[in-house]
Amino acid sequence: MRLTIFWERMRAHFGEAYADSFARDHVMSELGGRTVVQALEDGWEAKDVWRAVCAAMDVPAAKR
């Protein structure tokens, strides 16, 4: 998954303003105690980060 697609999905699910805040501030156990931004900076694949977000935040199957 390209980062552009990842961010499009984040904004579609969380909204334009909250997606960025969530990605910077919400520490997720599914990402090893990292935020979305930290996981991406640490080299996690965007698709794996998106899957973790989907699992943690109950993203509907239609948006996955």
3-state DSSP assignment of residue 45 = coil
Task: Decide if pLDDT at 64 tops 90.
Answer: no
Task: Residue 22: name the closest of 31, 64, 4 by CA.
Answer: 31
pLDDT score recorded for residue 13: 92
Return the pLDDT at 36: 98
Q: How confident is the model at residue 60 (pLDDT cuts 50, 70, 90)?
A: confident
11-56 pLDDT tens trace: 999 999 899 999 999 999 999 999 999 999 999 999 999 999 999 9
How far apart, in Å, are the Cα atoms of 27 and each of 14, 21, 32, 61? 16, 11, 9, 23
Find, among 12, 9, 36, the residue nearest to 25 by Cα: 36
